[in-house]
Structures are given as C-alpha cells and as structure tokens.
C-alpha cells in the first residue's frame, strides 16, 4: 500500500511540474525512480497517464481524470495527518497562477512575511496574462480578475476595486479632456484583460451610458494598457489597483470621475473541492492590506 501511495504522490508531482526530473528533485529521489513508479502505476491501471515527447510531459484524458481524483485523496490524507498530530503546518509546494501585473505589484511583495511564517512551504508563482488551466498547469490556486467562466472549479471572492478611467496630462493637454462618456468614442481606449471588450458602460445615478470604442492598438495586459496611456496614446480603463502607482506619481490622472465604471473583482479559483483554507492565507493577507 505504501508503494501505491508513493507512486500516487510522484504522479501528482509530475502532473503539477510537467517534468519527471523536477518531480524527482522535489521528492528527493532519482529520475529513474520516478519513471519506474509512473510506469508501474500505468501498468496497474491499464492506461497511459502521460503523453511524453522530448520537449513536454502532458496529462492524457485518463491522466487528467485520475489526477483530479487522486489529488483529493492525497490532500485529505495530509489534512487528516496534520489534524491528528495537531500541527497544522503548511508544507510542500504551493503553485499560484495570476497575472503578471498583480504578481509584480501585489503578490510577490507580500510573500516574504508569509513564507517566513511557513518555512516548510515552497511557493511557485506562475505569472501569465492569459488564463492558465488549473489541472494542465498543476496550479493549486489561481487569482483571476473579472467575470469567471463557468467551470467545475471552486471560486471565492477575495476583493474588488473600482474601475477608473485615466490618461496622461500630456495627452489631455494636447487633445482635450473628455467631458462626458460619449467623448470616449473619439479616443483610443485601452481596457486590458478585465475590460469589457469593445464597449464601455458608465453610470451616474439613473443615467446609463454605453460607448462603443474601436481601437487600432489592442493590448492584452494591464501593464501594457497603463504604459500606452502614460505614453500619451489614449485613455486607460482599469482597476484603481492596477494604475495606483501611476496615479500617485502623476503620470496618469483620472477623468470622468463623476461616472461609475463598475468594479473589478479578484477571485481565488481552485480545482479541488477540498482545498485547505490554510493555503489561502497569502490571499487573506493581500485583502487585509489592499482594502
């Protein structure tokens, strides 16, 4: 039975890291040991768990299904062990997926205190402005902005920030300051990954104004949108968090402040229904300091 659990643990590490050598390093064993364990598990199950090429190791359909089930079992066993021992110690590898902007500006600066409090925990931050696949990328928890797509994943709202419109002082002095939402149609508007596509909706009391924008330059990251606005290329619509530094420095100034552009939500998303609340501590830390 111990061999079976050892093989299952190695399988989960390979699935998460997408690397036999990395899984071996994390578990403190040789790569041939990992290969033999996975081969034995595949033989016992009668299916291929991984598709192997010289450049990549990916889960097969059967492997993805097995991963989702095995992860729940192993996590429950770890929680039961900690409960019996009365330790509640966080250990192992925590893989967090989030956007590059949030990673650089918010998450990473707050990790030192968290990791100091949990010296047995290792953290791997995967920064990508495209939404990562939780299972395929081996992510424990993803921090995602905007409206969530329907999925089997579990989500919890972490925080929200008001969406603001801003532009550089140089840009405004050159082209004039928008006085009403309809004026936005005359400018390039950069909304980034959490924006509303080609349309912008603003509210003031009972007034609702929807404006269609058609840009020559389309940017997929918040950092890119901010940089384009600072460079005087147009107006950025983003969360107050995303452009807080630029607003503080004066490289961007807010416009249409009387209008409500809605909020940008940050959600924690994870695949396993038994994801332990203790591993959400860094998220709670972010919430407490960003409110």
Tens digits of residue pLDDT in 73-98: 776 666 555 554 545 566 677 888 88
Does one domain contain both 174 and 185? yes
Does one domain contain both 197 and 263? yes
The number of folded domains in the chain is 2
- The pLDDT profile of the chain, 291 residues, written as one tens digit per residue, is 447 778 888 888 888 888 888 888 887 888 889 899 898 888 888 889 898 887 778 888 888 888 877 876 776 666 555 554 545 566 677 888 888 888 887 788 878 877 887 788 788 888 776 766 776 667 778 887 776 665 656 777 777 788 899 999 999 999 989 999 998 888 889 886 655 556 788 898 898 988 887 777 888 788 889 999 999 999 999 888 888 889 989 999 999 999 998 888 888 887 665 554 555 544 444 443 443
pTM over 0.85? The answer is no
Of 54, 88, 122, the one marking the end of a domain is 88
Does one domain contain both 72 and 210? no
Does one domain contain both 110 and 79? no
Does one domain contain both 248 and 155? yes
The whole domain housing 188 covers: 90-291
Does one domain contain both 155 and 211? yes
263-270 and 154-167: which strand pairing?
A: antiparallel
Does one domain contain both 34 and 103? no
Contact indicator for 252, 278 with CB cutoff of 8 Å = no
Does one domain contain both 63 and 124? no
Does one domain contain both 11 and 68? yes
Of 71, 88, 105, the one marking the end of a domain is 88
The CATH number of the domain holding residue 58 is: 1.10.10.10
């Amino acid at each position: 039975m111990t061999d079976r659990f050892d093989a299952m643990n190695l399988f989960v590490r390979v699935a998460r890291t997408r690397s036999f050598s990395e899984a071996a390093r994390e578990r403190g064993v040789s790569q041939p040991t990992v290969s033999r364990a996975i081969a034995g598990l595949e033989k016992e199950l009668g299916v291929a768990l991984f598709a192997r090429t010289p450049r990549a190791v990916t889960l097969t359909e059967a492997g993805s299904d097995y991963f989702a089930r095995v992860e729940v079992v192993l996590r429950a066993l770890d929680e039961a062990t900690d409960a019996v021992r009365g330790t509640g110690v966080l250990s192992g590898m925590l893989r967090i997926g989030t956007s590059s902007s949030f990673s650089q500006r918010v998450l990473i600066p707050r990790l030192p205190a968290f990791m100091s409090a949990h010296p047995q925990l290792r953290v791997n931050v995967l920064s990508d402005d495209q939404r990562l696949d939780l299972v395929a990328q081996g992510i424990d928890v993803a921090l995602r902005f905007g409206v969530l797509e329907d999925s089997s994943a579990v989500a919890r709202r972490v925080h929200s920030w008001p969406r603001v419109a801003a532009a550089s002082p140089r840009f405004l002095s050159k082209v004039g300051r928008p006085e009403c939402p309809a004026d936005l149609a005359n400018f390039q508007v950069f909304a980034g990954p959490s924006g509303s596509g080609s349309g912008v909706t603003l509210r003031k009391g009972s007034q609702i104004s929807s404006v269609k924008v058609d840009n020559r330059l389309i940017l997929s990251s918040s950092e890119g949108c901010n940089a384009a606005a600072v460079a005087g290329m147009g107006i950025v619509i983003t969360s107050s968090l995303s452009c807080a530094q630029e607003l503080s420095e004066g490289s961007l100034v807010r416009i249409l402040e009387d209008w409500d552009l809605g909020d940008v939500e940050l959600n924690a998303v994870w695949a396993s229904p038994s994801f332990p609340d203790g591993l959400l501590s860094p998220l709670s830390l972010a919430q407490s300091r960003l409110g």
